[in-house]
Amino acid sequence: MTILYLVIPCYNEEEVLPETTRRLGEKFDSLLQSQMISPESRILLVDDGSRDHTWPIIEALHRQDPRFGGVKLSRNKGHQNALLAGLTVANGHCDAVISLDADLQDDINAIDRMVERFQEGYEVVYGVRSSRATDTAFKRGTAGAFYKLMRMLGVEIVDNHADYRLLSKRALAALLEFQEVNLFLRGIVPLIGFRSTVVPYERAERFAGESKYPLKKMLLFAFDGITSFSIRPIRLVTLLGALIFGGSLLGLFALLIQKLFGQTVQGWTTLMGSIWMLGGIQLLCLGIIGEYIGRIYQETKHRPRFIIDQIRLDETNG
Ligand code: UDP
Ligand code: MG
């Protein structure tokens, strides 16, 4: 039987945790009854440095019910790092791990199908949203544009897949080999390889509390995704430079010919225009290159991606 770990990052989720853990507990029992998972399976909640009662709730839950485990990070490190911390703790204890969000927007009934696929021999099972009906038009539009842009930049990414996925023991160990500090898990997972498949599900609305992903965090996340997986923006800068250089050579040639035929040019507008335009393009390109250098700087420091404060986990069969 499969030892399954569910890993759930939680940041200020006191409003959703009681209901979430009740629903997950039910799901856990039904999987246990149908003998799909072993009793050594666990639900691992990662407290990402919450400022509310998230950790006391997790601790109390663990005390009453050994099916639940907890990991407390020393401070808020963001969704991806919190998830990675949970996966790191789960590594070595389980046959398969499923990551999902604390608000249960991802339909937990897809867990059954994910585990089935795993038992059929798939090592990576992506949860893919079959529709975005519950999203605002804005989120739908921006998400669609983002996936399109990523693909244009040559990044392999599974459409409409967030961080709801199953990883086998081997796939999990492979994922943990990736040492990057600018974490964009949904870009890394396809790089692992192994046999993979997709399980579609309907995404619900958050049933309580509010999104912990404001627009600013979302944009930063998207930016991380692009710069961690594609150097095409830098190539575009090179191409732009080459084009402008070529253009200016042609322009110079034209001016020389005009001069030979004795036509003097007024040219103030063109002059000013080109100064400003070229200056702008140069700054933009420096900025793009600077973004990459900044990331190289961050990566070379190899700072820890998370620091664990406490772990609550009973490994013996509860
Ligand atoms: N989350 C986290 N750390 C953060 C922000 C979010 O662990 O700094 C968790 C959050 O508790 C939730 C998941 O990441 O379990 C997804 O966040 P949310 O549901 O707010 O994002 P949305 O669904 O709105 O994109
Ligand atoms: Mg959510």
pLDDT at 143 over 90: no
Q: How large is the angle between the packed helices 79-90 and 185-192, nearest 10 degrees?
A: 40
The residue whose CB lies within 8 Å of the most ligand 1 atoms, and thus the one to mutate among 7, 14, 73, 101, is 101
The residue whose CB lies within 8 Å of the most ligand 1 atoms, and thus the one to mutate among 51, 79, 83, 207, is 79
The pLDDT value recorded for residue 51 is 95
Backbone angles phi, psi at 185, to 5 degrees: -55, -40
**56 compared with 207, residue with greater pLDDT:** 56
Bridge partner residues of 166 (DSSP):
98, 125
Q: Which residues surround ligand 2, an ion (CB under 5 A)?
A: 101, 103, 105, 206
When pLDDT is averaged across residues 71-92 and rounded to a whole number, the result is 95
The pLDDT value recorded for residue 132 is 73
When pLDDT is averaged across residues 179-208 and rounded to a whole number, the result is 90
Give the CA distances from residue 228 to residues 156, 162, 221, 223, 290, in Å, rounded to whole numbers and listed in that order.
Answer: 12, 17, 10, 8, 14
**Among 239, 227, 247, 228, which Cα is nearest to 288's?**
227
What the block records as the tokens of 93 is 């204890």
* pLDDT band per the 50, 70, 90 thresholds, residue 289: confident
What the block records as the tokens of 8 is 């759930």
CB of 213 closer than 6 angstroms to any ligand 1 atom: yes
Going across the sheet that includes 124-129, the strands are 196-201, 124-129, 161-168, 96-99, 4-10, 42-47, 68-73, 308-312
pLDDT tens by residue, 203-245: 888 888 888 888 888 888 888 888 887 777 877 887 887 788 7
CB of 101 closer than 6 angstroms to any ligand 1 atom: yes
When pLDDT is averaged across residues 266-283 and rounded to a whole number, the result is 76
CB of 82 closer than 6 angstroms to any ligand 1 atom: yes
Backbone angles phi, psi at 291, to 5 degrees: -55, -45
- Atom 19 of ligand 1, nearest CA residue: 211
The pLDDT value recorded for residue 146 is 85
**Among 21, 17, 94, which Cα is nearest to 48's?**
17
Alpha helices in the chain (DSSP H): 17-33, 54-64, 79-90, 110-119, 137-152, 169-175, 185-192, 215-229, 232-260, 268-301
The pLDDT value recorded for residue 79 is 94
pLDDT tens by residue, 11-51: 999 999 999 999 999 999 999 999 999 999 999 999 999 99
CB of 13 closer than 6 angstroms to any ligand 1 atom: yes
CB of 103 closer than 6 angstroms to any ligand 1 atom: yes
**Ligand 2 centroid to residue 56 C-alpha, Å:** 22
The pLDDT value recorded for residue 123 is 96
The pLDDT value recorded for residue 199 is 94
CB of 76 closer than 6 angstroms to any ligand 1 atom: yes
Alpha carbon 302 to its chain centroid, in Å, reads 19
Choose the weakest-confidence range: 72-76, 89-93, 165-169, 242-246: 242-246
Locate the ligand 1 atom nearest the alpha carbon of residue 11 and give its number: 11
When pLDDT is averaged across residues 115-120 and rounded to a whole number, the result is 96
pLDDT cut 70: percent of the chain above it? 97
* pLDDT band per the 50, 70, 90 thresholds, residue 285: confident
Give the CA distances from residue 132 to residues 18, 80, 139, 200, in Å, rounded to whole numbers and listed in that order.
Answer: 26, 22, 9, 12
From the CA of 211, which ligand is nearest?
1
When pLDDT is averaged across residues 263-284 and rounded to a whole number, the result is 75
The span from the CA of 305 to the CA of 292, in Å, is: 19
When pLDDT is averaged across residues 270-299 and rounded to a whole number, the result is 80
CB of 83 closer than 6 angstroms to any ligand 1 atom: no
CB of 10 closer than 6 angstroms to any ligand 1 atom: yes
The pLDDT value recorded for residue 265 is 63
* pLDDT band per the 50, 70, 90 thresholds, residue 95: very high
CB of 203 closer than 6 angstroms to any ligand 1 atom: no
What the block records as the tokens of 173 is 């160990």
* pLDDT band per the 50, 70, 90 thresholds, residue 264: low
Parallel, antiparallel or unpaired: strands 96-99 and 4-10: parallel
* pLDDT band per the 50, 70, 90 thresholds, residue 274: confident
Which residue is listed with tokens 């693909």?
A: 151
The pLDDT value recorded for residue 317 is 60
CB of 221 closer than 6 angstroms to any ligand 1 atom: no
The span from the CA of 194 to the CA of 154, in Å, is: 20
pLDDT at 297 over 70: yes
- pTM check: above 0.85: no
The span from the CA of 191 to the CA of 8, in Å, is: 23
**Among 102, 229, 81, which Cα is nearest to 164's?**
102
When pLDDT is averaged across residues 168-175 and rounded to a whole number, the result is 96
Coil, strand or helix: which one is 247? helix
**83 compared with 229, residue with greater pLDDT:** 83
**Ligand 2 centroid to residue 207 C-alpha, Å:** 9
The residue whose CB lies within 8 Å of the most ligand 1 atoms, and thus the one to mutate among 6, 212, 219, is 212
The span from the CA of 225 to the CA of 147, in Å, is: 10
